[in-house]
Amino acid sequence: MNNVTLVGRFVKDPELRYTQSGTAVTQVNLAVNRPFAKEGQQDVDFIPIVIWGKIAEATAQYTKKGTLVSVQGWIQVRKYQDQQGNDRWATEVVANQVEFLSQPKNGNQSGKKQESDPFAGTGDVMDISDDDLPF
């Protein structure tokens, strides 16, 4: 079974793109702490994540660098050729579920609620109905 669950923070703001057929896609690296530390320092892995469709659009709209997320999906290994014609391999996680767990560490620190920021206010819980969800 090829199934993975990761919890970590986005290394940069997700960048939303569209394929020629109009399908939304975003690629972002997720910083994930290893379960052990070396010499008092926590090791971190930077896992490439690919997100498709409505989930990609919501992720790009409602998250940014530093957002704590849970990603569920599968590991994909693909082969491609670089500009010199050499075969290369890429290993990445294709997400089928992304859960926003917190606001980014570098988020709004003023405490003022901003309508464009779904994480603004006193808590991480948003008061929305199922009809408001983009996926």
Q: pTM of this prediction?
A: 0.72
CB 32 within 8 A of CB 7: yes
The domain that contains 125 carries what CATH number? 2.40.50.140
Q: Which residue has the higher pLDDT, 83 or 121?
A: 83
- Specify which residues 5 forms β-bridges with: 72
Amino acid in position 27 = Q
Per-residue pLDDT tens digits for 7-44: 999 999 999 999 999 999 999 999 999 887 777 788 89
- Angle CA(106)–CA(109)–CA(111) in degrees, nearest 5? 145
Per-residue pLDDT tens digits for 70-114: 999 999 999 999 999 999 999 999 999 999 998 765 544 433 333
- Domain span holding position 36: 4-132
Distance CA 79, CA 83 (A): 13
With a cut of 60, say whether residue 52 has pLDDT above it. Answer: yes
Tally the domains of the chain.
Answer: 1
Amino acid in position 8 = G
